[in-house]
Amino acid sequence: MILDRLLNVSTANRLVDLEFRASDTTIQGDFVGSVTGKWVKLGSRGEGVVSYNNKRYPTKPIGFVSIPAGTEVELSYANGIYYSKF
């Protein structure tokens, strides 16, 4: 039955996910520590957009300040998430 197949696939996917989380594999960012980037804009879902090294990064902004595009911001990476701080 199709339901049985879907349950088997779901279980297999869950086991792979659990094995990955249990391993010491970490997702690396594009840089180590913090760098200075340029603020681009606030995205439609509330995410910050920061430009660094000719690449745009979606970030979680730290702080609630309105700043103009081009302002220098601190761009950091931790646990799979990029953060921007003004």
Indicate which CATH number applies to the domain containing 59.
Answer: 2.40.50
Q: Is residue 86 within 8 Å of residue 63, measured between CB atoms?
A: yes
Q: What does the pLDDT read at residue 7?
A: 85
State the pLDDT at residue 4.
Answer: 86
The total of other beta-carbon atoms located within 10 Å of residue 23's CB is 8
Question: What is the per-residue pLDDT for 58?
Answer: 94
Rounded Cα–Cα distance for residues 61 and 48 (Å): 6
Is residue 27 a part of any domain in this protein?
A: no
Query: What pLDDT digit, counting tens, does each position of 1-13 carry?
Result: 888 888 888 888 8
Number of domains comprising the chain: 1
Other beta carbons within 10 angstroms of residue 86's beta carbon come to 15
Residue 17 lies in a domain: no
61 in a structural domain: yes
Find where tokens 């702080």 sit: 63
What pLDDT shows up at residue 26? Answer: 66
Convert the pLDDT of each residue in 17-76 to its tens digit.
777 667 666 677 888 889 999 999 998 888 999 999 999 999 999 987 788 999 999 999
Distance CA 58, CA 61 (A): 9
pLDDT at site 61: 92
* Residue 69: inside a domain: yes
DSSP label at 50?
Answer: E
What is the residue range of 81's domain? 34-85
